[in-house]
Structure 1
């Protein structure tokens, strides 16, 4: 991880600056509205958004509005995932502190052209490193039971399936159950996957 600080994800809204994180293949930098065009293929991909919080967008303007809303949300910290040597956003990772200084929820999404290369696992691992270095005691994710790709990422990262909440979410694909996955700091330190 790089010690360099980036511009706040809120783009001047007074939010705390986000660190720029570096992995073997990736740079994770603060997400910015200028990423909308690069991320539009991801936001408008129906399959990539099947199990997400939002349905696929139809236009670049909708993708820009979705990105702008996410950047402006003071409860989430969001990074663009980029390949080293290319500042073009290929996905995002984000986190939301559920209980101050103790428990954080994570989320992630990646453009289809980059699926199957371990990029999400590498990016999320960097974010988890940051969260535990900041003093979090628990990181968790909330996934749809049918989201096989997301479940595989969480298993590779050492998360434990803790609960199934029945009929938890009313989504764009209907009422859905929710799987809760958790990871504790000592578990991460003992078994952190090396990417």
Structure 2
């Protein structure tokens, strides 16, 4: 057993148009304009970032962190267009996913392709269920989840106290056997 506290490297994932690699603190510069934009951050449970240094610190991988994050890039271009994160919520194969895409990359099917790649990886690793927690008014995210086959499992009323107030949360879930079908 190693004394190295560094978590194992994420597998690099490739899709038809994208390369997903482990998100790095250096990706903060490319993603800061989106993460500091109140419009982009409307549906996040945290307020927009005020400084790129804060993003860089949050992007640092820490030993014991339950969340893994892939930067979304195009092959041959190492600039992050966004990220997909997955966190194991319960032992026994249940993970939550979250994602963000810079505005200039939206509307091109990139988020769907990237999230699909990560979901495939999670199920290949033996996860039995993947879920997402999204704001009911986040129409883009709801549409993406439904296109990927997620099913609405419930609404948690007054679940989040965010920078835009108290918000409900929709829980969308996808089981491994539904994905394979």
Q: TM-score, normalised by structure 1?
A: 0.87
2:164 alignment partner in structure 1 = 173
Q: Deviations over 1:91-140 (max 9, x none)?
A: 01000001124110000000000010110100000000001111111000
2:103 alignment partner in structure 1 = 112
Q: TM-score, normalised by structure 2?
A: 0.93
Which of 167, 175, 180 is matched with 1:184 structurally?
Answer: 175
Please give the root-mean-square deviation of Cα atoms over the aligned residues, in Å. 1.3
Equivalences for residues 1-195 of structure 1 within 5 A:
13-68=5-60, 71-72=61-62, 74-190=65-181
Partner Cα separation in structure 1 for residue 67 and residue 106 of structure 2? 24
Q: Does structure 1 conserve the Cα–Cα contact (< 8 Å) formed by 2:13 and 2:21?
A: yes
Q: Deviations over 1:67-95 (max 9, x none)?
A: 33xx3371100010001220111101000
Q: Does structure 1 conserve the Cα–Cα contact (< 8 Å) formed by 2:83 and 2:100?
A: yes
Greater relative contact order (Cα < 8 A, sep 6+): 2
Partner Cα separation in structure 1 for residue 9 and residue 59 of structure 2? 18
**Which ranges of structure 2 fall in alignment gaps of 5 or more residues?**
none
Query: How many equivalent pairs are there?
Result: 177
Q: Does structure 2 conserve the Cα–Cα contact (< 8 Å) formed by 1:141 and 1:180?
A: yes
Q: Does structure 2 conserve the Cα–Cα contact (< 8 Å) formed by 1:44 and 1:63?
A: no
Q: Deviations over 1:149-187 (max 9, x none)?
A: 100110110000010010111111111101000001111
Q: Which runs of 4+ in 1 moved over 2 A?
A: 58-68
Partner Cα separation in structure 1 for residue 166 and residue 36 of structure 2? 22
Deviates more, 1:167-176 or 1:54-63: 54-63
Q: Secondary structure at the match of 1:113?
A: helix
Q: Secondary structure at the match of 2:111?
A: helix
**Which ranges of structure 1 fall in alignment gaps of 5 or more residues?**
1-11, 191-195
